[in-house]
């Protein structure tokens, strides 16, 4: 039995990486390992017997000058990790998204203790100061994985020079503190992300691909014919939401449900109202049983992304519930969807192709249900919990 330090910025679910942080911990515990969370303190955190070790993080709601320093280097995090290591024996540390709140300041203490460091890469932080290879909603690789200063004139962080300067500074500081060399191994959640890391300097032998997973053992799929097409996720330009609305607007007979919220919502609402799109329903943010029911009763789901998606959980969850997916052929999405088998791949930003597939799904609901069965079989055979655990444990074993 191993004792694994599970490191992330949040001990509550804010996004997909947080969900993975919790589900991976459950999976490791199920296989008999002891899992210790180490995250930043936050009133939203789920209770943990280890929360006494959670350090204070930078406050970006009402930031003071000290918070800018904490974003770059956290003395509180260093003290907390050292206190934990003084009181507990740890075999391996598995990192997720940790920068910003915990910072790379904690890496030195762990390396001094001789603990192997593994990180699952959920985004492009190592090669892009704003983590996404997006600049003002357009794909950008100007920094080439190391020239982070090139983000400054482009104001890549929300169009703000000050925010971008802080992101650029943090990227250089974290590199100096060992964000690449202090790690023994990186786990990429897609082949696409792995290739991008290697392209920009991460040693090929230092990074493996392990796709995300969904535990389908307690998920009952619904293979009956659905009623509507469903988008669920962030309502953001980079997710292709405006392309989706443009494609769906003329298809008055095809009900489209949009579940989620985000900065593009005002634009989406205006477009829907101006075009009299009563067939497009904006349902807001949903989670838990409500979201599950919406997926179960859909014809298919759609992910028309326009950024380098990695291994989107929305695709895997759709398959788990027995629903096919229309996805853009960008980033790691083509690694999940087999065109014309468990869904369709369409060109990213391709309005006409997307419109064609939306209409096809609506007019061929029986065939769509068969595609959903293929997606569920794929989850059971390739993306299940046991396979995922074995792949992760095989990586651990190399460094123990």
Q: pLDDT tens for residues 242-256?
A: 999 999 999 999 999
3, pLDDT greater than 80: yes
CB 346 within 8 A of CB 329: yes
Q: What percent of the chain has pLDDT over 90?
A: 93
- Please give the pLDDT value at position 14: 82
Q: What is the pLDDT of residues 125-136, one digit of tens each?
A: 999 999 999 999
pLDDT at 66: 84
Query: What confidence category does residue 13 fall into, taking pLDDT thresholds of 50, 70 and 90?
Result: confident
pLDDT score recorded for residue 143: 97
Q: For 280-294, what is each residue's pLDDT tens digit?
A: 999 999 988 999 999
Render pLDDT for 191-239 as a digit per residue (tens, 0 to 9).
999 999 999 999 999 999 999 999 898 899 999 999 999 999 999 999 9
37-90 confidence digits (pLDDT tens) = 999 999 999 999 999 999 998 877 777 788 888 899 999 999 999 999 999 999
Beta bridge partners of 346: 328
The arithmetic mean of pLDDT across residues 307-326, rounded, is 96
């Amino acid at each position: 039995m191993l004792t694994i330090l599970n490191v992330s910025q949040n001990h509550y679910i804010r996004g997909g990486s947080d969900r993975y942080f919790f589900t991976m911990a459950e999976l490791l515990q199920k296989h008999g390992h002891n899992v210790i969370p180490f995250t930043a303190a936050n009133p939203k955190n789920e209770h943990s017997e280890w929360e006494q070790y959670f350090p204070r993080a930078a406050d970006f709601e009402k930031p003071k000058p000290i918070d800018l320093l904490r974003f770059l280097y956290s003395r509180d995090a260093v003290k907390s990790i050292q206190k934990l290591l003084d009181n507990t024996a740890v075999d391996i540390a598995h990192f997720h998204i940790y920068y910003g709140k915990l910072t790379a300041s904690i890496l030195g203490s762990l390396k001094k203790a001789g603990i192997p460091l593994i990180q699952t890469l959920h985004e492009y932080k190592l090669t892009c100061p704003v983590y996404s290879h997006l600049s003002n909603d357009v794909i950008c690789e100007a920094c080439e994985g190391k020239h982070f200063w090139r983000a400054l004139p482009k104001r890549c962080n929300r169009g703000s020079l000050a925010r971008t300067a802080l992101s650029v500074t943090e990227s250089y500081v974290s590199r100096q503190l060992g964000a690449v060399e202090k790690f023994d191994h990186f786990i990429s959640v897609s082949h696409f992300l792995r290739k991008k890391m290697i392209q920009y300097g991460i040693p090929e032998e230092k990074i493996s691909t392990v796709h995300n997973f969904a535990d389908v053992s307690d998920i009952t799929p619904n293979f009956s014919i659905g009623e509507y097409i469903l988008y669920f996720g962030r309502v953001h330009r980079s997710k292709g939401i405006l392309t989706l609305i443009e494609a769906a607007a003329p298809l008055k007979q095809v009900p489209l449900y949009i579940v989620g919220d985000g900065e593009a919502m005002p634009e989406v609402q205006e477009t829907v109202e101006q075009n009299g799109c009563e067939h497009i329903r904006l349902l807001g943010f949903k989670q838990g049983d409500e979201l599950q029911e919406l997926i179960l009763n859909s014809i298919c789901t759609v992910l028309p992304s326009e950024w380098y998606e990695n291994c989107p959980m929305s695709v895997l969850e759709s398959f788990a519930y027995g629903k096919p997916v229309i996805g853009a052929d960008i980033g790691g999405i083509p690694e999940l969807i087999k065109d014309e088998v468990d869904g369709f791949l369409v060109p990213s930003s391709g309005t006409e192709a997307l419109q064609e597939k939306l209409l096809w799904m609506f007019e061929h609901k029986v065939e769509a249900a068969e595609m959903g069965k293929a997606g569920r079989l794929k989850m059971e055979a390739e993306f299940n919990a046991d396979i995922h655990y074995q792949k992760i444990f095989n990586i651990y074993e190399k460094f123990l």
